[in-house]
Amino acid sequence: MFEKLKKQIKDKNESNSPQNMSFDFKLFFAYHIAMMILFGARPIEDPFCQAMFALALGGVLFVLSLTNKIKRNWSWPGLSISSIPTTIFNLVFLYLFFAFAAYSMNPKVGVPDFENTELTVLLQDSWAVMQHAFNQPVFTPWFLAGAGIMVFNILTNLKLVCLKKDEFEAQCNGS
């Protein structure tokens, strides 16, 4: 019994090894490491410039990913029935997560009254609190890293990127 469990764990670990990481997943790690450097060392102090750096880096990584897909003759496997609802859930979760984080990062702003507030008012108020938090150079890279995680997750749901190398290779024609 334990031998079977050990074999399953070993197979799972080999499947999740760094050697089996897709090129897109490696690019995601590069983005995330850059955001952590931006967060920790803060070589860029202006929040707008931090966002522009993240956008430029994302653009470069997108071009690298696209070039790899073209070179490898990748074909999109298409959407599954759960892709769209999962993507919508991820976007709602991202908004809620950022709102929660923004309220937590700003002790001067009280928690909204959920019982006596309309949804549109709550969304407007939370958006204003998030914008204030986004514009703090200490927190901007944190939000950018979170956005990167969520974008990669959405792209994975839409099957535009793969986590594993062998999954990507299975989608390539002639490889």
pLDDT range class, residue 48, cuts 50, 70, 90: very high
Residue 7 has a pLDDT of 67
pLDDT at position 144 is 95
Percentage of residues in the chain with pLDDT exceeding 90?
59
Residues comprising the chain, all counted: 175
Domain-by-domain residue ranges, the chain?
19-170
DSSP 102-135: HHHH-TTSPPP-SSSS-HHHHHHHHHHHHHHHHT
Q: How confident is the model at residue 36 (pLDDT cuts 50, 70, 90)?
A: very high
What pLDDT score was predicted for residue 134?
A: 92
pLDDT, average across residues 12-33: 85
pLDDT in tens, 117-155: 788 888 888 888 899 899 989 899 999 999 999 999 999
Q: How confident is the model at residue 109 (pLDDT cuts 50, 70, 90)?
A: confident
Whether the Cβ atoms of residue 120 and residue 17 lie closer than 8 Å to each other: no
- The CA distance from 117 to 156, in Å, is 35
Q: How far, rounded to the nearest angstrom, does the alpha carbon of residue 90 sit from its chain's CA centroid?
A: 10
Q: What is the pTM of this model?
A: 0.82
Distance CA 154, CA 83 (A): 9
Q: Which of 94 and 9 is assigned the larger pLDDT?
A: 94
Q: Return the SS3 of 63.
A: helix
74: left (phi over 0), alpha (psi -120 to 50) or beta: beta
